[in-house]
Structure 1
Amino acid sequence: MALALLGAPLFAKQAAPFTPPASAPKLIVVISVDQFSADLFDEYRKTFTGGFARLQQGGVFPSGYQSHAATETCPGHSTILTGFRPEHTGIIANSWTDLSVARDDKVVYCAEDETVPGSRHDADYTVSDKHLLVPTLGERMKAANPAIRVVSVAGKDRAAVMMGGHTVDELWWWNGKAFVSYAGRVTPAVVVRANAATAANVAAPQAALDVPEVCKAHDRAVPLGAGKTVGAGHFERAAGSASGFRASPAFDGAIVALAAGLVQDMKLGQGATTDIIDVGASATDYIGHTYGTEGAEMCIQLQQLDATLGSFFKVLDSTGVDYEVVLTADHGGNDIPEREIDAGLPAAQRAKVMLAPMIAGKDIAAKLGIAKPVLFGDIPNGDVYIARDLTPAQHKAVEAAAIAYYKAAPQVAEVFTQAQILATPSPKGPPEKWSLIERARASYKTGRSGELIVFLKPRVTPIPDPTKGFVATHGSPYDYDRRVPILFWRKGMTGFEHTGSVETVDIAPTLAHQIALPLTAPKMDGRCLDLNASGAPCR
């Protein structure tokens, strides 16, 4: 893929080939567990005996932050290996509205090329890195020394693209049927084997999984209405159910197995320099959306992922390569309101349909006598867009009416205008102390973000009807969605736990420091963390 975007270089190239010092790890392994909140890590960390247990012997940062407000998969993954917040990566949501695009579908997916004829943001799109505006660590490494290999594997295309970046040797994601990559790429034998194994897994029925003792307290069905319940299915699925496979521990098993195979077949870390592989373990997110975060399914998933990661690390051990691992998440998640209320969270509720911009816009347009749609967007990420084909007077009236509409809604916490957000400096200091508008600022990109940002109150789930699809989600500016663990491990590393807050944008500069990679422009938002002491800034 190209090293340039919109005709300008992404970053300054190194003057001469870079060679990491002898003290540097030979392989960097970056793992993102989609929707793995710090709350889940805190809840289960003492029960782990496999990969998570090993990682806890290294540098533990239990209060890492996806510090911005846009706590979705694409923005979160864009921070992990770029060192930039979404206001600079340009990835402000999984999808955003762009009323200027030529096609009828005005929603743009974060990892698509919307200029390809016939594409839609939710179907038949061409996966692309074009919307990522900054380089990843792997890109910087490869620009410094072309011999460095950059590999990215994930269950979602947006995770693989946002961690891998614009210049990769191998980039693979699961498209619902198989692991695929960009058109025209040669499929390695290890991917062929992985696809055959995955297809066989999907084709076979899955009996309900056993419930470990640690999970039995979570094992109860919760009614959601219309005869639908969650919380006691234990991943039983019919033969051929790709969606059931995706929302099960087996999905992460397939993703990690492919990553392990690429490490072995490509002999990553066995060359003259340092290689990097990014792994997006996506099952936890699908399980959170399908079953919630506090049921038996999530508990089973984390126990099995612990074992899967343990097996992965044993494969890495067998190569004899000196490798360093960092594990984090793209965002956290919120449980289903029905279970949260029983757990003593009376504020938990489902959002009213009237908050959807299209529905709110119809009410506003009728009152203003405007015979066309006036509002667009999506409440989970907060972006509300105003129609472009209005007169200045109409635009002003619609904006004022929308602000009044949302501020009057009992489930809405805040409404910010573009002018208010842009007048707010980019936030500094501990992310847990940032105001809501500062969190919005950290994920606001003019030209992509909405004219209004609407935040729901804490524990208001933006899924009005849980009987028709997903039951739980994320995307809020609150700490249950922002706070994630960050774990570093390398053989021989002195273990420590740093309880203060850090950010996921600190990961890339920290890894760059580990391999002594000079960081040229653009300057990252994150800071280097000292892994030889207690997480203080690197000296």
Structure 2
Amino acid sequence: MFKKALAALMLAAPLTVLAQPPAPAASSGAAPRLIIAISVDQFSGDLFNEYRPYYSGGLKRLSEGAVFPRGYQSHAATETCPGHSTILTGSRPSRTGIIANSWIDLNAARADKMIYCAEDESHPGSSSGNYVASPIHLRVPTLGGRMKAANPATRVVSIAGKDRAAIMMGGSKADQVWWLGPKGYVSYPNVPTPPLVDRVNQIFAQRLATTNPGFDLPQQCGPKDFPVGTGPGKSVGTGRFARPADSFSAFRASPEQDAMTLAFAAAAIDSMGLGKQGQTDIISIGLSATDLIGHAYGTEGTESCIQIDRLDRELGSFFDQLDKQGIDYVVVLTADHGGHDLPERHRQNAMPMEQRVERALMPRALSEAVAARTGIGGKELIRGDGPAGDLYFDHSLSRAQRAKVEAATLALLRAHPQVETVFTKAQIAAAPSPSGPPESWSLLQEARASFDAERSGDLLLLLKPRVTPIADPIKGAVATHGSPWDTDRRVPILFWRKGLRHFEQPLGVETADIMPTLAALIHLPVPKGEIDGRCLDLIAGEGDSCEGN
């Protein structure tokens, strides 16, 4: 599928892929001419390791480079927007300002007070669900922004399935930022659509209008092929991604989406001549299908298994195409967060303690319970974006009322059997910024890494492990992420460049380490006081790729 789409795109674009000089080896010490940063949404460390014996394409190639299987999105709020904000900034959410996919601003004019991480809420009539996309909430520069400041000739491109992935990795200085919508790839308002994107969107429309009979089941997926009930007459676990014509939702939650995004990225690299001039260019690629599949079907059925197999194949075809062009490129692949399978399947597979969150922990139910306990009514005392994470108290409360509401809320939450802990804003703010191995951090340290004094809530609610924060799987997603536990924090971090000697480092590192590591490869100084990450030495044995940075 990738090859057909890619061939169509390549035929539509003016390409010169023949007689290209071979790319130099990494051992030459020269800076690579192209940085390719790939984020596979919800590609947990567990998923990476589970299917590692079966990789034969792009994931196999990356697994032969510098491998950090215990990378960490080290913060507590393991969601898409915060995770993507760490990858190319070298900073945790406490510095990027992207504390969640959405947060509450009680001073906002809109009724729901919800702010989406990648919107500009100043536009009249906008809401967190109907917004103008923008990078304004990202408080720090990305690697591409720093590269462009050092050399304005640098081209910075970002392409993804989700707007927040493209925006958070591309940053505010990107030349091209594109993400997939129902009509094709779109960008910010008033951005002209180049001919290549028009051609990509024509191909997308043709693909969408054609049915997909589904994918064959790889041999390694056979043991996964059994149904798991998620409600009356509903089950997951046996899907093949058969899709009717014109179903955008089915297209997005299938391997087709990533194939299209990679085809677009490959065509953009060639059409723009990325990596073929004197300076180093950068392209970030957000592959979103694994996340949408994980939410819709869980992480352990045939659906997820097929997706990882197709991802491996599509990445292999993508890299093969770049090799034909003789580009000297370095790749980093990681994820914005991990994920947790649905409790119904876990209970079938030796984990009877798995459960779904009780509705009493939903913000509205909690607010009503606190109102009944305190006698303070007539207002929504507590707001939040779900049964875990930041909770915000009504600003109109008097000091005495607020103290009463906080005490009642803490008492209710700390007595609930599904709650691990609750931190107050003052507790988190007083904690020092975390340091040391991310796998050994306390929950308070993880919370501090996600904390922003302006945007974070009055309380932070953390559920116990093995409690899925989805009360009803019938109405939408069956599985999710977002917790402070390793299932959601741990992700692979893989670096590859031609000539890079393979090594594997099993100890924990952070996704915030990616940016300074790449910056060192292109000899770009980054002041240590401006970031949270550190440079990772990619040279096995003697030598240090971080030397001088």
What interval of TM-score do these two structures reach, taking the shorter chain for normalisation? over 0.9
Q: Can you list the C-alpha shifts for 1:252-274, whole angstroms capped at 9, x where unaligned?
A: 00111111110010000001110
| 2:401 paired residue number | 394
- 1:79 paired residue number: 86
Match runs of 1:197-276 below 5 Å: 197-276=203-282
Distance 1:378 1:536 in 2: 44
Whole-angstrom CA distance in 1 between matches of 2:408 and 2:210: 54
Give the Cα separation in 2 of the matches to 1:413 and 1:176.
40
Secondary structure at the counterpart of residue 467 of structure 1 = helix
Q: Secondary structure at the match of 1:245?
A: helix
User: Any conservation in 2 of the 1:380–1:474 contact (CA below 8 Å)?
Assistant: no
Give yes or no for contact 1:31–1:325 (8 Å, CA) kept in 2: yes
Q: Secondary structure at the match of 1:229?
A: strand
Match runs of 1:107-122 below 5 Å: 107-122=114-129
1:149 aligns with 2:147: no
| 1:9-56 deviations in Å (ceiling 9; x for gaps) | xxxxxxxxxxxx970000000000000000000100110100000111
CA distances 1:327-366 after superposition (whole Å, capped 9, x unpaired) = 0000000000000111112221100111011110011112
Alignment of 1:43 onto 2:50: yes
Show the counterpart of 1:480: 487
State how far apart, in whole Å, the 2-side matches of 1:249 and 1:272 are. Answer: 35
Following TM superposition, by how much is the alpha carbon of 1:187 offset from its aligned partner in structure 2, in angstroms?
1.2
Contact kept in structure 2, 1:163 and 1:278, CA below 8 Å:
yes
Displacement of 1:185? 1.5
Give the distance between the partners of 1:24 and 1:410, measured in 2 at CA.
Answer: 54
Distance 2:315 2:388 in 1: 31
TM-score computed with the length of structure 2 as normaliser: 0.93
In terms of mean alpha carbon deviation, does 516-525 or 261-270 score higher? 516-525
CA-atom RMSD in angstroms: 1.4
Residue 323 of structure 2 corresponds to 317
Which residue of 1 is the match for residue 32 of structure 2? 25
Give 2:179's aligned residue.
173
Shift of 1:378: 2.4
The alpha carbon displacement at 1:207 in A equals: 1.3
1:3 corresponding residue in structure 2: none
Tell me the TM-score normalized by structure 1: 0.94
Hey, what does 1:342 align to over in structure 2? 348
Q: How does 1:54-65 map to 2 (within 5 A)?
A: 54-65=61-72
What secondary structure is seen at the aligned counterpart in 1 of 2:475?
Answer: coil
Matches within 5 A, 1:102-501: 102-123=109-130, 125-371=131-377, 372-379=379-386, 382-501=389-508
Distance 1:374 1:476, change over 3 A: same
Kindly indicate whether the alpha-carbon contact (under 8 Å) linking 2:521 and 2:545 is maintained by their aligned counterparts in 1. Answer: no
CA contact (8 A) 1:93 1:381 kept: no
Q: What secondary structure is seen at the aligned counterpart in 1 of 2:537?
A: coil
Q: Deviations over 1:176-214 (max 9, x none)?
A: 331001112121222111111111222222213211101
Q: Which amino acid aligns with 2:291?
A: D
Letter in 2 for 1:185: V
Q: Which runs of 5+ in 2 are unaligned?
A: 1-27
SS in 1 for 2:122: coil
Q: In the alignment, what sits opposite 1:16? A: none
Mean CA deviation greater in 70-79 or 341-350? 341-350
Higher mean displacement: 154-163 or 514-523: 514-523
How far, CA to CA, are the matches of 1:347 and 1:480 in structure 2? 16
Confirm or deny: 8 A CA contact 1:380 1:475 kept in the other structure. no
* Alignment gaps of 5+ in structure 1: 1-20
Q: 1:527 aligns with which of 520, 526, 534?
A: 534
CA contact (8 A) 2:538 2:545 kept: no
Q: CA offset at residue 319 of structure 1?
A: 1.3
Alignment partners' CA distance in 2, 1:87 and 1:279? 24
Q: 1:148 to 1:536 in 2, by over 3 A?
A: closer
Q: Which amino acid aligns with 2:281?
A: D
- 2:546 alignment partner AA: C
Is the CA contact 1:70–1:381 (under 8 Å) kept in the aligned structure 2?
Answer: no
The answer to whether the 8 A contact 2:425-2:459 is kept is yes
Determine the C-alpha separation between the residues in 2 that align with 1:100 and 1:536.
49
**Distance in 2, Cα, partners of 1:473 & 1:176:** 23
1:518 equivalent to 2:525? Answer: yes
1:324 aligned counterpart, secondary structure:
strand
> Shift of residue 175 of structure 1?
2.1
Confirm or deny: 8 A CA contact 1:379 1:454 kept in the other structure: no
Distance 1:455 1:22 in 2: 46
Q: Tell me, yes or no, if the aligned pair for 1:48 and 1:306 is still in contact at 8 Å.
A: yes
Change (3 A) 1:370 1:434: same
1:131-186 deviation line (CA, Å, top 9, x unaligned): 00000000000000100000000000000000000101111001233100111212
For residues 512 and 261 of structure 2, the distance between their equivalents in structure 1, rounded to whole angstroms, comes to 24
Residue number in structure 1 paired with 2:514: 507
The 1-side partners of 2:339 and 2:407 are apart by 32
Q: What SS is found at the alignment partner of 2:533?
A: coil
Inter-CA distance 333–508: structure 2 relative to 1 (3 Å threshold): same
Report how far residue 105 of structure 1 moved: 2.9
Alpha carbons 1:513, 1:528 under 8 Å: kept:
yes
Deviation string 1:71-129 (CA, Å, 9 cap, x unpaired) is: 00000000000000000000000000110012223000000011111111012x00011
- Aligned counterparts of 2:350 and 2:456: Cα–Cα separation in 1: 35
- Letter of the 1:183 counterpart: P
Judge conservation of contact 1:153–1:171 (CA < 8 Å) in 2: yes
Contact 1:111 1:127 in 2 (8 A): yes
Task: Give me the whole-angstrom Cα distance separating, in 2, the residues matched to 1:171 and 1:76.
Answer: 18
Task: Provide runs of 4+ in structure 1 moved above 2 Å.
Answer: 378-381, 533-539
